[in-house]
Structure 1
Amino acid sequence: MMAKGPKSIQSILKSTLLVSMVFLIVLFTCVFSLMEYTSQKNFLESEMQRTCNAIAKDIDLQLQQLDTVCLNTINSTSMKDSFSNYMNSADSSSYEISLFRNELSNVLISIRGVDTSIRQINVFNTDGEGFGAGNYTGSLQTNVDKLPWFDAATKAQGLRYYPGARKNQIYSEGVGTNENRYYFSLVRMFYGDYHTPKGYVEVLKYYDILFHRAYEPETNYPINVTIYDENKKIVFPLDPSKEQEDCQLYYATTDYSDLTVVTAIPSREFFSTIYQKLLPILIILISGVAACYFISKILSKRLSAPIKNIYRQLQRPEFNEHFEEIALEDSHIIEIEKLKNALNDSLTFRQESMNSMMLLKEQELQAQMLAFQSQMNPHFLYNSLNTISAMIEEGLYPETIQMSRDITSILRYISSNKEQTSSLEEELEHCELYLKCIKLRYADILSYSFHVCDDILDLQVPKLCIQLLVENACKFTSETLPPWHISIEGEIKDGFWYVDVKDNGPGFDDNTSLRLRKKMDEILANGLLPSLELDGMGILNVFIRLYLLYGIDFVFDFGNLENGGAVVRIGGPYEENQ
């Protein structure tokens, strides 16, 4: 039986045409469902907003009616005259008082008109005397400044004010209604001649009548209604419950009364109707998606299995180390077979190129590090011989002998070219040995200190990098008036390790700082390393050796301290297992 030959991607795509057609059907179903969902959602939102607007409009009309009665009362000359006559009838006969009382009552009733929803009109003067007509008709003996709305209504200066709902047993007993029934009132202060306050007019309605549409909204959905005044205070309902977290909210603002009506419907109730209408479409969609899933799973597995095998082999750690060829069974797909062969050819060439490049790179780095390290030996020896010569001239013979022995130990350390790096602890030990040699000459006028975190002592740093910085610090500090101090500080901060070499010398002048930073920028920009002279090689040598060892992932900075002196900082990223 003949083996099947590899197939082209074109033939496989032809076999998946059916899947593409099913996908189009599913896509059409999804689009149709989305359109239907959007349509139903917009309809319900429109319905909820219409209900909210209707509630706001009804309450606004009733409050406007309250305010109209209040304004008509304030602007009625008959009311003011009758109220004045009644309030000033203390010395009149009982018959005259009765006439004044009936006259004022008739005026207030006529202002109210035929609208029986206005249950009470009260008029007060500033002396605390008042008269009411409606559920209760008669004198109102009270201190007006003790009424709950007095301060706010006075502050409103003639503008309307809603004191909020409250009970009034006297008003309710007069008409035989429930004594626990709430009233909602509107209050305005009115003025006399020369804009002097004369009193207050209060118009009241039953609370449940005023907010009837809020109690029983014309909708088939369970909505909650909350009404706020212009100061964001709740005026409905009487006992506001805790707001539900997952609700659809709709807002409407009244034009006249400055109230804000908020209707809330639970999201579960809101979306349940939409989902019910979408349920048949969703069932068809789920069935279609399930069928497409199994078909696409089989086909995608067949197409992607060879590519996944190639990917897994490329991701193996040993593959990147040894550049093994990709081992793959015959996929019967022409393009994948060509891809496999091309990758293997590329990997073979890459391995050969990488081996050559790594060998050359390693040789180059070692040569550069050795070259710059070898420049350090004559540099140190030059400085040490100058120091020994000066000490002999000064007659410091015992100190010269001790310094020669210490310098011998240092030379053994710096003359070893087997390793280009050493631990920070070893580097600091030789720095301290060098500082002891220098202190033999200068005695108490030179002091030094080490403050280095123990956690970074095992870090590998370029050999003699801190030694050079300490030598430079001693050299330039000794050119100023004593006492001289050298400080070496090391710490870990924000994921980086740092070592600072500080002195109290003259610091860096502007020309030297500018020249060094320019050379450092050039090295980082093009990677070309300059040749160094023996004199003044310290800082730039350390920078280049850090660059050769770490690439660009290192810290190097220098500058002047606020209180005088210079500081040079080196560092790099710190990891606990570094």
Structure 2
Amino acid sequence: MLRLKTINAKIFFRYSLLIACIIAILLVAFSVYMTRILRMESKQSMNQISANILDTLDLEINSLYSTALKVVSSSPVKDAFFQNTNEPAELNKDLNNLANIVLTINGPKPNFYKLNLYRNDGYTFAYGNQYFAEFGDLKQLLSEDWVKATLQQEGKKYISPPHIDARDPQATPIISISMSFAEVYGMKSNNIVEIEQKYSVFENIIQKAVISPLKDARPTKSVYVLDRQGKVVFPYGGDDQTTRMIEGFRDLVVQAPGKMGEINLVNPQDHQKSIGVYAQSEFSGWLVLLLEPEASLTKPVRTFNEQIILLGFISLMITLIMTYFVSRSLSRPIKHINKSLKNLELDSLNLKKAVALNSQFDELEELNQTFIEMRDRLKESLEEAVSARSHEIQSRFLALQSQMNPHFLYNSLSVITIMCEENRNEDAIRFCKGLSNILRYTSSTSFKSVSLREEIKHTTDYISLMQERYGSMLEFHLNIPEVMMDLRIPKLIIQPLVENCIKHGIHVEPPWIIRITGKLLSENWMITVSDNGSGMEPEVIQGLNKRFRETDSLKEMPEINLNGMGLVNIYTRLKIFNEDKLIFDLKNNKAGGTSVTVGGLRKYTEE
């Protein structure tokens, strides 16, 4: 028999009444609140879908635009395209030549449907779905609307609405990106490059975004896409009623680019109220409008409210019954769980044995089991965080390794040009082979470390090219023990230092001397690269040492130095590769010039 003055009796009567009142109040408040929340979340979901559609469309458009930029900025393409071509045999030769160059730029699997190049005298080159080179009707070409619009952009991109290319025998609907360009920089941009893509590619992007995850669910959302001029991009070829309805949305196009918003509309076809969201791209100017009827939006809310009310009533009855039994043995298991929570520390995360609660209640047993699972998940999360940090450092290492000096490539091509003009064919062949070895080495990403022998080979190849350029004015001395040649070091460590010596050391009277010396320590290796130049200002050395200290946190990627790999870049990759146990010293020589000493742990296998 339950005594009224016992703790169990007081808990039962007082908390039963309290729980009954709280559940009743929460059910009413929760029903109203969830109605508003679900509506808001539905709008947020629609905003996300519209933004995702726009982002994916922009990615596809940007891919086509990047291809157009690659083509018009390619000197081989321009040289072949602007040759005087009159004879049929020459046309066929230019066709093959241009096709090979475009294949080199875009690879065997182009990201477009067709590429068209139009010259200002009517000469046309097509690559992709169609493959030809011919002189077309210039007057007819200039009369087309998309050509006029492209030329008016004066080198900027023009995105055409969906249409069918009159020269395509398959009559495939397309969307094209076009831009005008000049034969020579500074001249009038009166030539055109056009990159076509199937309309179905854009259609699939939009349709996939609004497909319901439930196979049998009927899609309730409608998507419309308009371009900057208010022309319909999607759906293409709709009926008159759909066109008239979309025309009512064209005033949204004048909204500020890049903005997102919400609107309430009435469908003129069925007069149903609809909730809409829209987003407009700054890049393409396209506007995505997503509509959903209000009735379909609120239906799950009504269903959810009914279920919550029923579930709340059942829960209330069960709570009133179970409170009596729970109150009798509630204190002990709760204290046990509370004690476990207070004693939770990092050292206790590795405990494998679960302690049984023996509370006689499944709910509390489940609570205890949940705590144990939470402890295990916390341990897994810590391990995943450590693993993620390791992968982040490895990715950062590879990104730092993959830089290249464009000025070196430009100067090398200039040297080759001079050799060819002077009929020094053998020298040019030897120079090209050396340049090929260097480019193959710098562009390879199959490994993050190399043997010192490979790095020295790459460095000597580079110096050989520089000696072709500077002749006897550049001297090179190498003194590295053979025992060091199998050491594993980060790729592109020595050659950038030599490049830095040549850049800063040729401002004195020749000969310019570069020395590379190596030394093995008990647990480390050390290599010094020095020159006989004018040295570095103390302020510059202090600034670099400050950058090294800032880089120690590894929180940010060092800035890329366009004049070589950069000392900060080399310092960071050495730090990552050697796990902070690196050697790095920068100083001016007493006799003149600069010395950079790098080193790290002795490793003979790739990790």
Q: Do the structures match in fold with TM over 0.5?
A: no
TM-score by length of 1: 0.38
- Rg comparison, structure with higher value: 1
TM-score by length of 2: 0.37
